[in-house]
Amino acid sequence: MAEGHIITVEQGAQHVRAVHGGTVLAESSRPLVLRETGCPPRYYLPPEDVRTDLLAPSDTRTHCPFKGDASYWSVASDVSGAADIVWAYQEPKENVARIRDHFCFYETEVVGA
């Protein structure tokens, strides 16, 4: 890990939800909260709490030197530009192994704690 770059993953108690176009794509009261230097907190949701039936895998892949390689999904039937709105790390680096196969949405709202 780079000097001064810190990543923590902890079990969250927040109730969070991801909504697009009025449709709830995910809702969870057991998110993992990832905090990373220079980034906003991100909520990683267990796959059981995500409507994967509404998502389609995209060809987009990104690499983070601290977390590993991410795969992306888009809203399956959407024409309003909801491409690559969620990502997951199938094989994250050891220091963030807890986020394996959890989904993280760009837009997640906290609806209760």
* Domain of residue 84, CATH code: 2.170.150.40
For residue 108, the model assigns a pLDDT of 83
Within a domain: 56: yes
- For residue 16, is it within any domain? yes
Query: Which DSSP string corresponds to 36-72?
Result: ETTS--EEEE-GGGB-GGGEEEEEEEEEETTTEEEEE
- Report yes or no on 94 lying in a domain: yes
Residue 77: phi, psi to the nearest 5?
Answer: -110, 25
Residue 70: what pLDDT?
Answer: 97
Q: How many structural domains compose the chain?
A: 1
Per-residue pLDDT, 82: 75
Which residues form the domain of 49? Answer: 7-112
**pLDDT of the residue at 36:** 94
Average pLDDT across each block of 10 residues of the chain; the chain has 113 residues. List them in order: 81 93 92 94 96 92 94 79 88 95 90 70
* pLDDT of 113: 58
In a domain, 2, yes or no: no
Question: Is 13 in contact with 113 (CB distance < 8 Å)?
Answer: yes
Residue 1 lies inside a defined structural domain of this protein: no
Whole-number pLDDT of residue 37: 93
